[in-house]
């Protein structure tokens, strides 16, 4: 059966039934497994929300401890991956290194487990990916920038360990709190392009590593996860070309050139405030004196937000405050999207599990607008 309706970019099309999450724009709520994501972020740690996303219910105290212990004990990556990172051309982009690393890791999986798409097997692979992607993402970036590896410390909690590997030293409480909240805000978001990509790949009964590698490729794009890097680069460009006083004219000039300001707009929210951006904004004044340029960037942030609303009626999406917050946390820009992917791993694992548990191959049709009836030239 072929439906006659066509929606470019699949806008408004229902692609799956899911019990994982929904963006309820009427009430401006991101519902995750029945809970409001922002309430989860306010009250719980990332690991408990990751458990909820993957298992469908909040963990008991014992389940939470076991889950965190499992993540800590499995947080290191195969030794050969460290060697691989050293061999990569130094021009490799961190997201590409992450994608390659995930593909490489598939070779270290028990071949039977790799091709077993049962719920239990997928859970084992998914939890390993969740545990290992922090060490993978950070140490790939470290090798590409001639920085010493920082191996995960199994004594530390998941987000503390991640920030420790990023910075090379134990984080303070405020940084840890902000980083954990951002991670939770990124954890799951219904059917963005990368989640859809993961589900489309999984629907061929391809394995979890393949689906996750495809999701990394999707998330890299500036219309999606890459927007957090583009957003801070925009703020820093303004700061280095006149600072806050120049923010209005700089933004206006870009809009006159019909440029997209990354970190604004959203296919689903578009004319409404992204609840994650609203929640995370509060961390900007709390962190803005952590770097020399923090105050100036925070002022520029506000001007750009006002101009975008006045001129385009567009609100920031979550990547706008997160781009700035990661900078205030002292994180290098090329790590922003890999960290986003690490946070989203829980969501993607849940979606791949759901897809494989009740699979139907994605195979849409097209409206053909090419030629027909051409005569094939005869071979001489």
Identified catalytic residue from 319, 327, 351, 356: 319
Q: Which stretch binds ligand CMC (CB under 6 A): 115-123, 166-174, 207-215, 258-266?
A: 258-266
Question: Residues for the chain: how many in total?
Answer: 380
Active-site residue flag, 319: yes
Q: Which residue has the tokens 């290191």?
A: 76
Task: Assess whether 266 carries a catalytic annotation.
Answer: yes
Element (DSSP H or E) covering residue 31? strand 29-32
CB nearer to ligand CMC: give 69 or 260. Answer: 260
| CA 94/CA 98 separation, integer angstroms | 6
> How distant, in Å, are the alpha carbons of 92, 140, 149 from that of 145?
10, 9, 10
For ligand CMC, which stretch binds (CB under 6 A), given 72-80, 162-170, 265-273, 364-372? 265-273
Closer CB to ligand CMC, 32 or 165, in the complex? 32
- For tokens 């061929």, name the residue: 204
Catalytic residue, candidates 224, 327, 351, 356: 224
Binding to ligand CMC, residues 311-330 (CB under 6 A): 312, 314, 317-319
> Minimal distance in Å, beta carbon 277 to ligand CMC?
9
Shortest Cβ 11–ligand CMC spacing (Å): 6
**Site for ligand CMC, residues 146 to 175, rule: CB under 6 A:** none
What are the tokens at 146?
A: 């001639």
Of 162, 164, 250, 264, the one binding ligand CMC (CB under 6 A) is: 264
Q: How many C-beta atoms lie closer than 10 Å to residue 367's C-beta? A: 7
- Neighbouring residues of 94: CB distance < 8 A, sequence distance ≥ 6: 137, 140, 141, 144, 334, 335, 337, 338
Question: What's the DSSP call for residue 316?
Answer: B
Q: How far is the CB of 325 from ligand CMC (least distance, A)?
A: 14
Question: Which one of the spans 13-21, 42-50, 264-272, 323-331 is the region binding ligand CMC (CB under 6 A)?
Answer: 264-272
The partner residues of 29 in beta bridges, in order of sequence, read 24
Tell me how far apart the alpha carbons of residues 289 and 328 are, in angstroms, rounded to a whole number: 8
Considering only residues 62 to 81 of the shown chain, the ones binding ligand CMC according to CB under 6 A are none
Stretch that binds ligand CMC, among 87-95, 143-151, 196-204, 222-230 (CB under 6 A): 222-230
- How far, rounded to the nearest angstrom, does the alpha carbon of residue 316 sit from its chain's CA centroid? 17
For the bound state, the minimum distance from the C-beta of residue 149 to ligand CMC, rounded and expressed in Å, comes to 29
Out of 134, 210, 214, 263, name the contact with ligand CMC by CB under 6 A.
263
How many Å apart are CA 189 and CA 144, to the nearest integer?
A: 30
**Helix or strand holding residue 365 (H, E):** none
Burial class (CB in 10 A: 0-12, 13-18, 19+), 50: buried
The contacts of residue 2 (CB under 8 Å, 6+ apart) are 365
Q: Which stretch binds ligand CMC (CB under 6 A): 75-83, 142-150, 177-185, 309-317?
A: 309-317
Q: Does 262 contact ligand CMC by CB under 6 A?
A: yes
Q: Could you tell me the strand order of the sheet in which 21-24 lies? A: 21-24, 29-32, 35-36
Candidate list 125, 142, 199, 224; residue touching ligand CMC; CB under 6 A: 224
* DSSP-derived secondary structure for 44-84: S-HHHHHHHHHHSSPPPHHHHHHHHHHHHHT-SPPHHHHHH
> Taking CB under 6 A as the rule, which mask of x and - marks residues 189-208 in contact with ligand CMC?
---x----------------
We find the least distance from the C-beta atom of residue 39 to ligand CMC, in angstroms, to be 20
Of 77 and 212, nearer to ligand CMC (C-beta) is 212
Does residue 318 sit in helix, strand or coil? coil
Nearer to ligand CMC, 32 or 127 (CB): 32
Q: State which of positions 267-286 bind ligand CMC (CB under 6 A).
A: 267
Closer to ligand CMC by CB, 199 or 224: give it.
224
Name the catalytic one among 266, 327, 351, 356. 266
Question: Catalytic residue positions?
Answer: 224, 266, 319
Using CB under 6 A, list all residues that contact ligand CMC: 9, 192, 223-225, 227, 260-267, 312, 314, 317-319
């Amino acid at each position: 059966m072929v439906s006659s309706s066509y929606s470019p970019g699949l806008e408004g099309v229902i692609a799956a039934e899911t019990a994982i999450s929904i963006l309820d724009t009427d009430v401006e709520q991101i519902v995750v497994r029945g809970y409001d994501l922002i309430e989860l972020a306010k009250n719980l740690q990332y690991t408990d929300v990751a458990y909820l996303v993957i298992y469908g219910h909040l963990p008991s105290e014992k389940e939470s401890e076991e889950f965190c212990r499992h993540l800590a004990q499995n947080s290191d990556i195969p030794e050969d991956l460290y060697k691989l990172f050293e061999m990569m051309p130094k021009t490799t982009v961190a997201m590409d290194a992450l994608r390659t690393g995930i593909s490489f890791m598939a070779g270290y999986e028990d071949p039977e487990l790799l091709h077993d798409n049962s719920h239990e097997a997928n859970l084992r692979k998914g939890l390993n990916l969740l545990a290992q992607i922090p060490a993978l993402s950070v140490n790939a970036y470290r090798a590409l920038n001639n920085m010493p590896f920082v191996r995960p410390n199994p004594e530390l909690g998941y987000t503390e360990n991640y920030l420790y590997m990023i910075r090379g030293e134990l984080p303070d409480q405020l940084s840890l709190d902000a980083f954990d909240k951002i991670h939770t805000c990124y954890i799951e978001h219904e059917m963005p392009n990368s989640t859809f990509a993961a589900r489309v790949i999984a629907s061929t009964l391809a394995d979890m590593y393949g689906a996750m590698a495809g999701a990394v490729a999707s998330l890299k794009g500036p219309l999606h996860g890459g927007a957090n890097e583009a957003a801070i680069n925009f703020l820093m460009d303004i700061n280095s070309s006149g600072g806050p006083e120049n923010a209005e004219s700089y933004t206006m000039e870009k809009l006159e050139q019909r440029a997209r300001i990354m970190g604004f707009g959203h296919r689903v929210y578009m004319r409404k405030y992204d609840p994650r951006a609203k929640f995370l904004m509060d961390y900007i004044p709390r962190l803005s004196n952590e770097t020399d340029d923090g105050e100036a960037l925070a002022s520029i942030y506000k001007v750009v937000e006002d101009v975008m609303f006045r001129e385009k009626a567009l609100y920031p999406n979550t990547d706008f405050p997160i781009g700035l917050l990661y900078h205030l946390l002292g994180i290098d820009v090329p790590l922003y999207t890999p960290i986003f992917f690490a946070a989203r791993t829980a969501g993607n694992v849940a979606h791949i599990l759901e897809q494989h548990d009740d699979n139907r191959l994605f195979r849409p049709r097209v409206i053909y607008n090419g030629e027909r009836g051409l005569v094939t030239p005869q071979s001489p």
